[in-house]
């Protein structure tokens, strides 16, 4: 029986599911497909189909709403495991996962009226894509007020998982006559008139995430669909919540990539006449730093409350993890030696994939400014 045929998930959604075990079951199949998707720049559609069959897209939704009741920490471990097999699958899945965990947190902690969205995702295993990482504080695109809602014109980048997604979580800027520039947050179906996914994801690494550009050409968004309004370049409470939920999820993926690179490097080093003991030791030391920072971030976010101090702590951890995983994979290349240059070994793909850790917000300069302003007691919006 193949992993995709295994009946891992019970039909009774009130039963407690070991989601980590589900991920481990899928891992060999994803690993076998990874090089092919990377070589061809093709989206991991088959892996996403397997995730859907195992109901992993609704795993983070509360059981009361039809989901799998997985905690954020459990989903971090699932993503870390999946990254050992296919970085692109893990990262694209992470982008969906944090978009589900955010309303799930709001339902649990604020009793926010998001149960309709969560029930819909759980019922149909709908996939979410977003533009949040590229828009971040400033937002982008134009919203024009019309009768009953807004017309949106925008081009969004880094919409990971877009080839398989049903819903697009994004934002646009409205020039409010009274309030001035206002960022509007909303979700639109990918089937809505005026929404187009561009097949243009050709990159150094993470080649199979399907992180295509998405254009919105006069897309109508009703007033009732506006989920939040905020000032551009200001830390709205929603963004503190996004930071607390999203970055443990995303950087668990990069930690998993570094772990996978280490395992390949050690196996390759052991074949060499001079195995480079000191380099392997440096690799394991740097990987330990990444693991400690990732574990600390996941544990912290599990019990934290969103707010400026939490956000600062999250991004300090994000920088520590990024620094350590990049260095660890560099050392993995050194430890493996010349064999690391060959595609068949798999290290060069992981080396390219882990470079993505550099580019998610907050990048180094912005993170240091946030940390410095927090330490000095200055407003973080300065």
Residue-by-residue DSSP string for 286-316: HHHHHHHHHHHHHHHHHH---SHHHHHHHHH
Q: Which domain holds residue 111?
A: 13-126
**pLDDT averages per 10-residue partition of the chain, 382 residues:** 41 65 98 98 98 98 97 98 98 98 97 95 98 92 98 98 98 97 98 98 98 98 96 96 98 98 98 94 98 98 97 98 98 97 97 98 97 97 82
Q: What CATH number should be reported for the domain holding residue 312?
A: 1.20.140.10
pLDDT of residue 7: 42
Do 226 and 256 lie in one domain? The reply is no
Tokens describing residue 160:
């990971």
pLDDT of residue 16: 60
Do 321 and 244 lie in one domain? The reply is yes
Domain boundary among 126, 145, 180: 126
Burial class (CB within 10 angstroms; exposed 0-12, middle 13-18, buried 19+) of 166? middle
CA distance 162 to 218: 19
Do 201 and 262 lie in one domain? The reply is no
Do 122 and 142 lie in one domain? The reply is no
- Nearest Cα to Cα of residue 209 among 78, 91, 53, 82: 91
Claim: this prediction has a pTM higher than 0.85: yes
Do 52 and 22 lie in one domain? The reply is yes
- Asked if residue 5 is part of any domain, the answer here is no
Do 163 and 195 lie in one domain? The reply is yes
CA distance 196 to 92: 19
pLDDT of residue 11: 40
Do 256 and 361 lie in one domain? The reply is yes
- Asked if residue 369 is part of any domain, the answer here is yes
- Asked if residue 4 is part of any domain, the answer here is no
The DSSP secondary-structure symbol of 236 reads -
pLDDT of residue 132: 82
Do 220 and 339 lie in one domain? The reply is no
Do 336 and 207 lie in one domain? The reply is no
Do 104 and 209 lie in one domain? The reply is no
Do 265 and 362 lie in one domain? The reply is yes
């Amino acid at each position: 029986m193949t992993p995709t045929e295994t009946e891992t998930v019970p039909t009774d959604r009130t039963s407690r599911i070991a989601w980590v075990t589900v991920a481990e079951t899928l891992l060999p199949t994803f690993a076998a497909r990874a090089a092919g998707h990377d070589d061809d720049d093709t989206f991991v559609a088959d892996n996403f189909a397997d995730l859907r069959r195992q109901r992993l897209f609704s795993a983070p939704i509360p059981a009361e709403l039809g989901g799998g009741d997985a905690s954020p920490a459990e989903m971090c471990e699932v993503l870390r495991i999946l990254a050992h097999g296919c970085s692109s699958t893990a990262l694209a899945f992470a982008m969906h996962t944090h978009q589900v965990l955010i309303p799930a947190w709001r339902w649990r902690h604020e009793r926010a009226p998001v149960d309709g969205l969560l029930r819909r995702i759980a019922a149909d295993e709908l996939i979410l894509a977003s533009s949040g990482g590229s828009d971040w504080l400033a937002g982008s695109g134009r919203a024009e007020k019309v009768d009953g809602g807004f017309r949106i014109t925008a081009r969004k980048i880094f919409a990971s998982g877009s080839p398989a997604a049903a819903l697009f979580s994004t934002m646009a800027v409205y020039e409010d006559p009274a309030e001035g520039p206002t960022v509007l947050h909303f979700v639109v179906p990918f089937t809505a008139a005026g929404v187009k996914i561009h097949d243009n994801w050709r990159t150094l690494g993470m080649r199979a995430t399907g992180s295509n550009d998405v254009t919105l050409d006069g897309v109508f968004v009703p007033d009732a669909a506006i989920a939040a309004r905020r000032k551009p370049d200001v830390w709205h409470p929603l963004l503190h919540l996004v930071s607390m939920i999203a970055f443990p999820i995303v950087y668990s993926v990069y930690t998993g990539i570094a772990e996978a690179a280490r395992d390949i490097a050690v196996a390759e080093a052991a074949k060499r006449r001079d195995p480079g003991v000191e380099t392997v030791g440096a690799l394991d030391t740097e990987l330990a730093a990444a693991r400690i920072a990732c574990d600390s971030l996941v544990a912290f976010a599990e019990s934290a409350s969103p707010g400026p101090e939490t956000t600062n702590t999250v991004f300090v951890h994000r920088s520590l993890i990024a620094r350590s995983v990049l260095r660890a994979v560099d050392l993995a290349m050194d430890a493996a030696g010349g064999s690391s240059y060959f595609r068949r070994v798999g290290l060069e793909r992981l080396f390219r994939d882990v470079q993505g850790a550099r580019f998610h917000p907050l990048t180094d300069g912005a993170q240091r400014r946030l940390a410095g302003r927090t330490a000095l007691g200055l407003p973080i919006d300065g």
